[in-house]
Amino acid sequence: MGAVSLTAAGLVAMINFRWLEVIVHRVVQPGTSRFDRWTVLRILGRMALLVGLFAALLAVPRVDPVAVAVGFSTLVAALIIEGLRQVRVGGG
């Protein structure tokens, strides 16, 4: 069950990050920002996805909370490592 928890958390973290990237790209554009209904629905979808995962963590007794934490942390660690690599190499 730990492998399933790790995979599910990693998948949710990747989807969450991708949706956040799209939202920021749409809203924070020079000139006209596009904060429309689709952007609001994506924000609500992100929140619903996270609430669903945390509800599953509390409701299903066999879900491994350590594996879920590691699954979420892998994406963050990868972003930090990539950012440090870009700084060291000299830009991007």
3-state SS, 11-75, equals HHHHHHHHHHHHHHHHHCCCCCCCCCHHHHHHHHHHHHHHHHHHHHHHHCCCCCHHHHHHHHHHH
Query: Domain coordinates of the chain in residue numbers?
Result: 2-89
Per-residue pLDDT of the chain (92 residues; tens, 9 = 90+): 777 777 777 787 787 788 777 777 777 777 766 677 877 887 888 788 778 877 777 787 777 778 777 877 887 888 788 878 878 877 65
Which amino acid, one-letter code, is at 41? L
Q: How high is the pLDDT of residue 92?
A: 53
Residue 33 structure tokens: 């920002």
Question: Using CA atoms, how far apart are residues 92 and 83, in angstroms rounded to an integer?
Answer: 9
Q: Largest Cα–Cα distance in the chain?
A: 49
